[in-house]
Chain A
Amino acid sequence: KNQVEQSPQSLIILEGKNCTLQCNYTVSPFSNLRWYKQDTGRGPVSLTIMTFSENTKSNGRYTATLDADTKQSSLHITASQLSDSASYICVVTTGTASKLTFGTGTRLQVTL
């Protein structure tokens, strides 16, 4: 069964600090991996998307990495801001573009 597991489930950090979120997947066949940010009461918004051949993808203070051999990905947030408080969801796509497997997300809270 295709699965995407994320850790930690929740995280609290001080403003200005860095953090790294983890994603492990068992989806096959692999097409691409996406990280989404979901603010409370809103729909997910795409941060990065990586194919099999890409190891790193950045979007401002967000940097995603992918190790296709170990089936692991991470999302690193640099110099966190209060507005980074949200859920971060890892999504893996199978060969069929319409089939996405979602992780349960990491809820990040950035505090003063």
Chain B
Amino acid sequence: NAGVTQTPKFQVLKTGQSMTLQCAQDMNHEYMSWYRQDPGMGLRLIHYSVGAGITDQGEVPNGYNVSRSTTEDFPLRLLSAAPSQTSVYFCASSYSGHDYTFGSGTRLTVV
């Protein structure tokens, strides 16, 4: 039982490049979310999903896209990377929203 798996762990992008952060869970959780963590700030919700085929925006969705074609996977796409998107990104999943399991994070630097 791997829990929530995020890849890659580290990534450096040039401004304007696009990429996809991968998130997969093997716990059959319906709820999945993406957060970013910046110094001095609490985790902020980017996008979330309450089931396959259903996604919605969180607090800071601009510049990011998501899709949820399967229960297991919830990729986060950066359309055109900007230095302001330099952050640590966490994916989390939950069976019913009662408690969340977080991945180990992706540290992204945009230069």
Contact = CB atoms under 8 A, between A and B. Distances in A.
Interface in A73-112: 89, 93, 96-105
B96 interface: yes
A46 B33 contact: no
Interface string A3-40: 01000000000000000000000000000101010000
Give the size range of A's interface with the partner: 20 to 34
Contact of A102 (B42, B50, B97, B98): B42
Contacts of B44: 102
B7 interface: no
Interface in B37-62: 40-45, 48, 50, 56
A49 B43 CA distance: 18
B31 interface: yes
